[in-house]
Amino acid sequence: MATGHSKSGISAVFSWKSQAVARLTKIGEFGWDIEKLDVTTLDSSSQFKEYVPGMVDPGDFTIEGFLATDDTNGQVVMFTDAKARTTGTALITLPTTLGTVTFTGTALITEIKIGDITKEGIPIKVKLSWMGATTLSIGA
């Protein structure tokens, strides 16, 4: 029987073009959606709809944190790539307390929002779209 445990997200890392991005507070949900295709015909004997799997949609995800203009290899490169509409390798690494778990693929930055300027900091939110196949790797 599996005895998995939930773990804190502390120490999770998002990397863009092999560089960890600093000052993040949240890495949004990621994964796949699998299209289902209706193949029901008039002579389907069960009177239930019938489906087959279709295309896999890798979807979008967001990262959030605080603006860090001194993160020249992370945030600043992401801002530059977004403006240039350049894709890059995105890597999400989960905390090591879960073993070695990564999710990777090529992504395009589709939105950058710089939030309200407050005494606590200046929040940022970046939306990325996976641009094809992604890989989930789970090791012990």
In CATH, 13-139 is 3.30.465: no
Sign of CA dihedral 27, 33, 127, 84: positive
Q: Which residue did the predictor score with more confidence, 104 or 8?
A: 104
Query: What is residue 97's three-state secondary structure?
Result: helix
pLDDT of residue 45: 86
Residue 59, pLDDT > 70, answer: yes
pLDDT of residue 3: 64
Six-digit token pair at 49?
Answer: 């709809």
Mean pLDDT, residues 80-84 taken together: 98
* Beta-sheet strands, E only, within 33-74: 33-38, 51-57, 60-66
Mean pLDDT, residues 99-123 taken together: 96
Distance CA(59)–CA(51), nearest Å, equals 21
pLDDT of residue 2: 59
Residue 94, pLDDT > 80, answer: yes
**Do residues 130 and 110 make contact, with C-beta atoms less than 8 angstroms apart?**
no
**Do residues 14 and 88 make contact, with C-beta atoms less than 8 angstroms apart?**
no
Distance CA(134)–CA(57), nearest Å, equals 10
